[in-house]
Structure 1
């Protein structure tokens, strides 16, 4: 079974340092790699970008950063749209022919992930090519992985069976599973960007002085049935994560030696920051 290049991105480890994005620009802007890629523009065609996702508000907030690029899909819609222009190599890397693609602005819309950029100056659709030109020179990893200081980006050359096993064991997800394009770029801890969360801080009062209520038992319920349970940390904070968008309505109960509290929470169109919850 053939081995193909895969990219695994851990959203929880990305700190938005921008090294991967800068490496892509350094490699492709103004540089011509015949047979692989024409020079990319300095601005406009963002073939490697970092997207920001914010959940909550104020002091109760969670920010996630997600590197996005060509997914090098095994069932790529762009190839179906232009099989004479775009090809998938034996190692799984998808390349847009820089000569045959001239003028094909229609191919930008062929990618459902928005990963094909338009080079207005050269009149070319372009993608991030997994540094195929470097791989063919013997490089063991693309530059984005090489420059990532937190290890958020990792590449691997795996057959389909091995890839499926790694996805299962590490809980990896496609960006948009419903598209059924069989992408070779997958994500770990994607809930940090896509799911909903409920944040809160529990406060007790002792002789008129408010203080953090550490060790409070916090339960999340729906229709009276307990779904999850947490214990507030030393600052009285808690977070229920990985909740489905639109899920709910929920009820939340808090129990502590200093008192109790109950909160009603509607459907989660967005993540909810409950603010301060006072024990009574």
Structure 2
């Protein structure tokens, strides 16, 4: 069966996949799988963007989201006469049988089904079933410049699927879109010597979580340190450098945090 794998560590937020989806489906009739997607209002593949941190330490997180083609699809349960799963795993909303069924939009817990007012039909990503039938890749996958989007047979992608975080899975739906390397949260800061008014390069920085797991790094040529891919929680931050008094601070991490400057006093 077919499946999607999305490596978020490779996604640079170019929006190429979202544009490719529009290019393939707007004003194009791909019956029996889909009628044309409207020019506006629909995002059969939608790029989610979140800005992390505080100036000047800011990073952007991107996540392309499409229909999850769930094995236990709530949309099929809501309208089994109009929605079906193909033998290859792609879930299709039949444009003719689903006509006038606006309630189907609310059946998807992922918000992946949209209402086409002009045609009076619910619509969503088909996995470019019309291209897959020809042995081609979905257009979003084919257009991905970084290789973040992948599509293929489940057994061929098994090693990657085993790394899936399931972070965005809704229990019981068994989605067939698997996300790897989620962004998570970060902690960053800067270490400097107020007496010399200079940054301190090579200071040792330790971050310990509630379970006692320790992460370690050193400050770079700008005096900066970064800890990335963190979960929310309570952390203990410790900074030490030869010839300076160390510092220790408890951090309650609920969102990515630029913790600011750390002046170290000389011993």
User: What TM-score does the superposition give when structure 2 sets the normalisation length?
Assistant: 0.92
Match of 2:220 among 207, 213, 233: 233
- Distance (whole Å) between structure 2 residues aligned to residue 108 and residue 72 of structure 1: 15
- Partner SS, residue 49 of structure 1: strand
SS at match of 1:259: coil
Q: Do the aligned partners of 1:107 and 1:125 also contact (CA within 8 Å) in 2?
A: yes
2:30 aligned with 1:36? no
> Which residues of structure 1 form unaligned runs of 5+?
none
The match for 2:140 among 140, 144, 161 is 144
Using the alignment, how far apart are the partners of 1:15 and 1:163 within structure 2? 22
1:53-68 matches, within 5 Å, as 53-68=50-65
The superposition leaves residues 91-147 of structure 1 with CA deviations (integer Å, 9 ceiling, x where unpaired) of: 0000000011111111111111111111121111111111100111221x1111111
Cα deviation for residue 201 of structure 1 reads: 1.6
Within a 5 Å distance, the mapping from 1:35-184 to structure 2 comes to 35-139=32-136, 141-159=137-155, 164-168=158-162, 171-184=163-176
The question of whether the paired residues in 2 share the 8 Å contact of 1:219 and 1:226 is answered with no
Report the secondary structure of 2:152's partner residue.
Answer: strand
Superposition TM-score, scaled by structure 1 size:
0.88
What's the Cα RMSD here?
Answer: 2.0
More helix by share: 1
Count of aligned residue pairs for this structure pair: 265
1:258, distance to aligned residue in structure 2 (A) = 4.4
Contact 2:247 2:264 in 1 (8 A): no
Pairing of 1:210-221 with structure 2 (within 5 A): 210-211=198-199, 213-221=200-208
1:12·1:64 contact (CA, 8 Å) conserved in 2?
no
Verify the 8 A CA contact 1:261 1:277 in the aligned structure 2. no
- 2:255 maps to 1:267: no
Cα deviation, residue 47, structure 1:
1.2
Runs of 4+ in 1 over 6 A off after TM superposition: none
Structure 2 vs 1, CA of residues 152 and 224 (structure 1 numbering), >3 Å: closer, same or farther?
closer
Closer/same/farther in 2, CA of residues 164 and 80 from structure 1, 3 Å limit: farther
In the alignment, which of 178, 183, 205 is matched to residue 186 of structure 1? 178
**Aligned residues of 2:207 and 2:216 also touching (Cα < 8 A):** yes
CA distance change for structure 1 residues 179 and 226 in 2, over 3 Å: closer, same or farther? closer
Shift of 1:164: 4.9
Query: Contact 2:34–2:95 (CA<8 Å) still a contact in 1?
Result: yes
Q: Deviations over 1:213-253 (max 9, x none)?
A: 221111123569563222222222222223322x11x3211
253-262 or 14-23: which moved more?
Answer: 253-262
